[in-house]
Amino acid sequence: MLDNYKAGFWKHDPVLDCIMTRGRAVDGETVIGPQQWRHSPSFEMLHEWGFAHNMGGPLWCGPRIVGVLFTATTESDAPYTVRSRQRMDMLCRAGSLALTNMTNAGEFDTHRDAIRVPEPAAAPAATLSASLPPRSADVAIRVCRGQTNKEIARDMGISDQTVKEHVANLCRRFGVHNRTELAACLLSTSARQ
């Protein structure tokens, strides 16, 4: 399962996007929606490995999210509840406190010891997908990640020029002047939702 995730699923994981944006525990069915959950790529990947529902929460060290704690259940008729998310938040706060204390004591260096995985979309994919055409939403997510046009083009299998056109169209659509303002606008929009 981790190999599938590392191979690229993390780039399109709405649960991870939501965790990174909201900074708190969420579950897949709530993020994607109960009606769409069983038809989502997230569910399909979990189902392939014998799971039915997933949930995750952030691990903080100071002001930064340095990791994510995930869990999954095999109970297909028992989605995570509000109480489950509250417990996950509490577990993540405890883990975050331990990481912070270890870092402050010099036992753990979040820059040196952490596994390097590129940061997921800062704006949740689900939010952008609802308001933008799919390719524009993909470009917008990658702009929020801080990727260059060349990196976006390579990831999406399109030309640099096509990415440039998508960015220009997004800037016009959101009334901003450049990609930095675009990312700020998208992030503030997603944080309000």
Average pLDDT over residues 135-139: 85
CB 136 within 8 A of CB 170: yes
Q: How far apart are CA 46 and CA 41, in angstroms?
A: 9
Check pLDDT > 90 for residue 55.
Answer: yes
Q: Provide the pLDDT for residue 189.
A: 60
Just give the CATH number of 2-104: 3.30.450.40
pLDDT tens sequence across 175-189: 888 888 888 777 766
pLDDT tens sequence across 24-46: 899 999 888 888 988 888 888 88
Give the Å distances, CA to CA, from 103 to 90, 93, 98, 116, 165: 20, 15, 8, 17, 44
pLDDT tens sequence across 77-113: 888 888 888 999 899 998 888 888 888 887 766 555 5
Helix, strand, coil percentages for the chain (3-state, nearest 5): 60, 10, 30
Q: CATH 1.10.10.10 in the chain, residues?
A: 125-192
Check pLDDT > 90 for residue 122.
Answer: no
User: Residues near 27 by Cβ (< 8 Å), separated by ≥ 6?
Assistant: 15, 53, 54, 55, 56, 79, 80, 84, 85
Beta bridge partners of 27: 55
Q: How far apart are CA 116 and CA 38, in angstroms?
A: 31
Q: Provide the pLDDT for residue 16.
A: 82
Long-range contacts for 32-35 (Cβ within 8 Å, ≥24 apart)? 32/126, 34/79
CB 140 within 8 A of CB 186: yes
What confidence category does residue 57 fall into, taking pLDDT thresholds of 50, 70 and 90?
very high
CA torsion 178-124-7-119 (nearest 10°) is 60
Domain 125-192, second-level architecture? Orthogonal Bundle (1.10)
Q: CATH 3.30.450.40 in the chain, residues?
A: 2-104
Residue-wise burial string across 93-117, b where 16 or more C-beta atoms lie within 10 A, e elsewhere: bebbeebbeebeeeebebeeeeeee
Tokens for 73, please give them: 């259940």
DSSP 80: -
Q: How many helices (H) and strands (E) does the chain have?
A: 11, 3
Q: Provide the pLDDT for residue 10.
A: 60
CB 103 within 8 A of CB 110: yes
* pTM attached to this predicted model: 0.55
